[in-house]
């Protein structure tokens, strides 16, 4: 187990016996072997790049310097430590590192430690999913439109009326207009006075802010009370629509169950 390219040799150096060691002297690796305690130890001296051994095995009580260990690791040489019974104890392998890969790993670890970066990544993932879903739906709808025969504007309008029904649209329009007036009266005549009880002016609609131009003396009024009333009216309309939608959904679900039964 000594020389390279020799038959049945595997570029392994085996050191054993009392006082065996690996050290460095004059930039050379010194391998000291003492198999026979009654004879002089055998010593080999190699520049580490010219050393034919890829692995060095040490068994029993011996010594290896940290300088030698560092030099062997830098040149991809393995050191294996065995106990007195030949059982492996430690494998000393060179560190396989890539500066670029190490930077990427550190960046990944730092990213997942930061709550803000994790939240940003989550938003990006959700955004990508939404983009994919929108692309898929739009592509599918375009494909379906391409498969259908082209229709004129009048034909499309007639199909729309057949789908929703002229009478249904008319009823919805009339009821919607009446409901809008009713909701507006409810907000102005009921909600406004109730909120006005807590205001000095007694009327939410009278809330405003004035700004005077120091040069021309013109006065501008910002009537934010009307804006608040319109927002309240919008919220009430949205709430009523939501309640109606939930009720219709439940009715449709009951009809579907009845038909399936």
pLDDT in tens, 159-186: 666 655 666 666 677 777 777 788 888 8
Lowest mean pLDDT among 92-96, 102-106, 174-178, 186-190: 102-106
* Cβ-contact 29, 71 below 8 angstroms: yes
Q: What mean pLDDT do residues 4-28 have? A: 77
Q: In terms of Cα–Cα distance, which of 62, 69, 59, 68 is closest to 94? A: 69
CATH topology of domain 12-92: Ribosomal Protein L15; Chain: K; domain 2 (3.100.10)
Q: What mean pLDDT do residues 113-140 have? A: 76
Which two structure tokens, joined as six digits, stand for 150? 């082209």
Calpha distance 19→83 (Å, rounded): 15
Lowest mean pLDDT among 46-55, 96-105, 168-177, 186-195: 96-105
Q: What mean pLDDT do residues 10-19 have? A: 82
Handedness of CA 105, 107, 112, 118 (dihedral sign): negative
Handedness of CA 152, 153, 155, 156 (dihedral sign): positive
* CATH of region 164-260: 1.10.1200.120
* Domain ranges, ordered by start, for the chain: 12-92, 164-260
């Amino acid at each position: 187990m000594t020389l390279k390219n020799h038959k049945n040799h595997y570029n392994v150096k085996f050191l054993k016996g009392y006082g065996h060691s690996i050290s460095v002297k004059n930039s050379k690796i010194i391998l000291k072997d003492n198999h026979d305690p009654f004879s002089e130890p055998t010593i080999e001296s190699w520049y580490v790049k010219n050393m034919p051994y890829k692995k060095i095995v040490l068994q029993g009580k011996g010594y290896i310097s940290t300088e030698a260990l560092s030099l062997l690791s830098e040149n991809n040489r393995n050191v294996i430590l065995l106990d007195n019974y030949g059982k492996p104890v430690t494998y000393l392998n060179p560190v396989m590192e890539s500066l670029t890969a190490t930077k990427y790993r550190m960046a990944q670890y730092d990213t997942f430690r930061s709550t803000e970066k994790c939240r940003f990544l989550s938003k990006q993932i959700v955004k990508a999913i939404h983009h994919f879903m929108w692309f898929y739906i739009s592509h599918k709808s375009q494909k379906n439109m391409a498969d259908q025969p082209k229709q004129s504007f009048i034909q499309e309008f007639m199909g729309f009326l057949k789908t929703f029904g002229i009478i249904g649209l008319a009823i919805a329009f009339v009821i919607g207009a009446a409901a809008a007036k009713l909701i507006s009266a409810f907000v102005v005549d009921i909600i406004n006075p109730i909120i006005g009880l807590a205001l000095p002016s007694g009327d939410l609609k009278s809330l405003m802010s004035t700004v005077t131009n120091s040069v021309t003396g013109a006065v501008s009024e910002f009537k934010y009370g009307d804006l608040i009333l319109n927002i309240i009216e919008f919220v009430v309309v949205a709430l009523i629509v939501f309640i109606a939608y939930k009720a219709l959904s439940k009715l449709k679900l009951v009809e579907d169950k009845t038909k399936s039964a």
